[in-house]
Amino acid sequence: MNRTYWFTGLSGAGKTTIGRLWYEKLREAGETAVFLDGDELRQVFGGDLGYTEADRRKSAMRNARLCALLAKQGITVVCCTISMFDSVRQWNRENIPGYFEIYVKASMDTLRQRNQKGLYGDGRDVAGVHFQVEEPKTPDLVLENDGQRTPEEQIEQLTQSITE
């Protein structure tokens, strides 16, 4: 059965790193899968949205609808996106076959230390800093990612969660 693995979390939490490793594992196992990254999807959809809460919500729904379209065609989807909105995640559960939500969680101290994209501290609209986010209430799996475990160990936890 194909699934949609929706990796959500704040910028710098490790969604893309862990999600890409998961995608590679699925492909090695012979799955027909696609990898979607929120930053890349913004460009694919024309780069017409900013980073306000309203634009982020529109972007999240674009991502969700694309995942639903692909899933309904029998393709396994790995989508890594902030999309910290309860309404989007609820839409996903109702409309995406095989939806599996993974919350990649990291403390604000960890996110500020990593700061790979230079977002924390530059005054832009940063989710979780400049506006409130809706933390996932019922994810299928929470991966605590403050650096105590390697991405490969996170993948092992995901694998165990799926096979239980």
d(CA 155, CA 161): 10
Q: Is 129 helix (H, G, I), strand (E, B) or coil?
A: coil
Tokens (6 digits) for 61? 């729904």
Query: Is the CB of residue 129 less than 8 Å from the CB of residue 107?
Result: no
Query: Is the CB of residue 102 less than 8 Å from the CB of residue 5?
Result: yes
What is the mean pLDDT for each group of 10 consecutive residues in the chain (164 residues)? 90 92 96 93 85 87 96 96 92 96 87 58 50 84 90 94 82
Give CA 56 to chain center in angstroms: 13
Query: Is the CB of residue 106 less than 8 Å from the CB of residue 134?
Result: no
Query: Which residue among 11, 83, 107, 161 is the active-site one?
Result: 83
pLDDT of residue 120: 45
pTM (predicted TM-score) = 0.86
pLDDT of residue 11: 84
CB atoms < 10 A from the CB of 37, how many?
Answer: 20
Q: Is 83 helix (H, G, I), strand (E, B) or coil?
A: coil
User: Catalytic annotation on 83?
Assistant: yes
